[in-house]
Amino acid sequence: MKLTKDHRGPLDSGPAQSQGRSSSLSSGIHPFAEPPHQVRNPFFTRRWRVALCLTPTLLLAAWIVTIGGFGESKPAVGQMPKDKPLRDRVQSFDGVAEEKSAWGSLRWLMNSKLDPQATLTLGIVELNAGQSNPLHVHSNSDEVIYVLSGSGEQRVGRETVILKAGDTLRIPAGTPHAARVLGREPLRAVVVYNTGERQFTPVQENEAK
């Protein structure tokens, strides 16, 4: 019997189909695959959008820091400033100012004013014979007293103790305290605070604990 129509199945290929399939295979695309679609990653899109929004703000902040002088490099705490020779960082007892008062005097040999990187304050205090300093607190630091000469009655809170040459005492931060000289000799002592910026606040008797 003679067939008048082409009954080739879907898997049979004629010249046209073979040519189209070869071109598809050569391009790496499956002949029956759907056209590829461009896929956007929402994470990267959102990240770049946020970065573009923040860029002007960051540039403005950098400009303000530069204009304000905050961009200057400073030695870290505990490091020596390299622009100042070691001999120029020595503080002499006779070279620092003496702070005089009715009860005695103070000379500060180290604090953040003398050395911006200092994290402590050290001074020499002298209380005149028969005098006492006012009741006060240091709210931001402890105080350590080392008596060099003389003797005195040291009050800490509601307690008192006699200190003489060679004695050391720590007074906790925020505790009211005062010293009264005993005898005819002035009391001289080293005082140390664990901050470069010592705070001094007089208190009334009724405020003492």
pLDDT per residue over 132-161, tens digit each? Answer: 999 999 999 999 999 999 999 999 999 999
**Cα separation of 122 and 193, whole Å?**
7
Express as a percent the part of the chain with pLDDT over 70. Answer: 60
- Confidence (pLDDT) at 200: 96
Query: What pLDDT shows up at residue 33?
Result: 52
Instruction: Please determine, for residue 35, whether its predicted confidence score (pLDDT) is greater than 90.
Output: no
Query: Cα–Cα distance between 82 and 75 in angstroms, integer?
Result: 8
Q: Which of 150, 152, 195, 201 is nearest to 174 (CA)?
A: 201
Grade residue 58 by pLDDT with cuts at 50, 70 and 90.
low
The token pair at 47 is: 């990240």
What's the average model confidence in pLDDT over 56-80?
53
Residue 71, pLDDT > 90, answer no
pLDDT of residue 69: 45
Kindly state the percentage of the chain with pLDDT values over 90.
55
With cut-offs at 50, 70 and 90, classify the pLDDT of residue 206: confident
pLDDT at 70 over 50: no
175/141 Cα distance (integer angstroms): 10
Chain segment 86-111, per-residue pLDDT in tens: 888 899 999 999 999 999 999 999 99
Helix (H) / strand (E) element for 169: namely strand 168-171
Torsion of CA 7, 8, 14, 18, to 10 degrees: 160
Please give the pLDDT value at position 84.
79
Residue with tokens 């070869």: 22
pTM, to two decimals: 0.61
What does each C-alpha distance from 199 to 140, 147, 173, 195, 202 come to in angstroms? 6, 21, 10, 9, 10
Question: For 86-207, which CATH class?
Answer: mainly beta
State the pLDDT at residue 72. Answer: 46
Average pLDDT of the chain is: 79
